[in-house]
Structure 1
């Protein structure tokens, strides 16, 4: 009986080991599948955000008009998980004109979230309607892989010269179109800006 019991125990252990191996194999397969799904999501669908040509059937990018200027960086925010991240990997909160001067820009506090920008100053140097026209949230699209690296190197206080185009992006039911007026405000007032060139004019801590 003891021998039979031992044999039964060994057989039972062997079956348990086989079951554990099977469960481990299935778990590894699931991890691999999830990894492949993630790789797919961050693959050709994200070509535009990487500065590459669109390869997905329903994706397109159209130039609306040339755009350039010198802008003070008030803040930046990287996006990876929203629908627009397939096209624009980063937003810039910027000021220009009078509000690009360091002594004014340092008094502007910003908060960026969900592709929106909130900003405030304790004391405006100009009427509010004029002030609103000198601060903007720009959705940045890199024109090539090198620009894709450079656009993430900006810091608050940098004065940069940006050149490129305002664009419209389409993807299935999504139509994302840039504002074409530097003086509009509210929803739809942001620039969707494909950047061909970025140059640092000065770097200041503000």
Structure 2
């Protein structure tokens, strides 16, 4: 499979409508891949190979969005989306925790009135490096705002390629409760649901 990411312009075009509000109370769904075919992405003179690791779908609240443009990672995954689900965004709790993003990481702070423990926060929030399947997906993700309830579906991947003649790689986390280097999801997104519309 060959994919060419084109410069984004305009607004995303929905492919369908979705009934009801996105339910963010459940856990992300991660299953074995049905198609092991490597995805090739051309970026100028460089080609990157995306190896599918797991099929993945997550319904969550957007707690942060940050764009990147420098380096091969910024060209391949130009947006990071931080997400939270489960009890983290429940009324009476969400005002006691805050999130921020920098350097392709996300961070959180909470006050003395926040009743959930840190392992719960770690297991119910994530920073996602978004590799869009096409321009429409990119436009949709770029339109996210904090507080949006969204569903993202696609594939968690490992990336191999060359940048300026040097071998580079990027591996997705396959767990929700890990921390530190390698704990973010490298997420090839093929479908987005937001505000009653589906984007593909």
RMSD: 2.4
- Distance in structure 1 (CA, Å) of the matches to 2:72 and 2:138: 18
Whether contact under 8 Å (1:161, 1:201) holds in the other structure is no
Q: Does 1 or 2 have the higher relative contact order (CA < 8 Å, sep 6+)? A: 2
**Farther off after superposition, 88-97 or 117-126:** 117-126
Identify the residue that residue 93 of structure 1 maps to in structure 2.
82
Aligned residue for 2:12? none
Name the CA distance, whole Å, in 1 between partners of 2:56 and 2:65.
19
User: Which structure carries more helix by proportion?
Assistant: 1
Structure 1 alignment gaps of length 5 or more: 1-45
Gaps of 5+ in 2: 9-38
Structure (1 or 2) with the larger CA radius of gyration: 1
Deviations along 1:115-152, one digit per CA (max 9) or x if unpaired, are 01111111332221222211211111111121111110
SS across alignment from 1:186: coil
Normalised by the length of structure 1, the TM-score is 0.68
Output the CA distance in 2 between the equivalents of 1:139 and 1:191: 6
2:145 counterpart of 1:155: yes
* 1:105 matches 2:94: yes
Residue 117 of structure 1 corresponds to which residue in structure 2?
Answer: 106
Asked whether the 8 Å contact 1:49–1:89 carries over to 2, the reply is no
Corresponding residue pairs, total: 157
**TM-score normalised according to structure 2 size:** 0.70
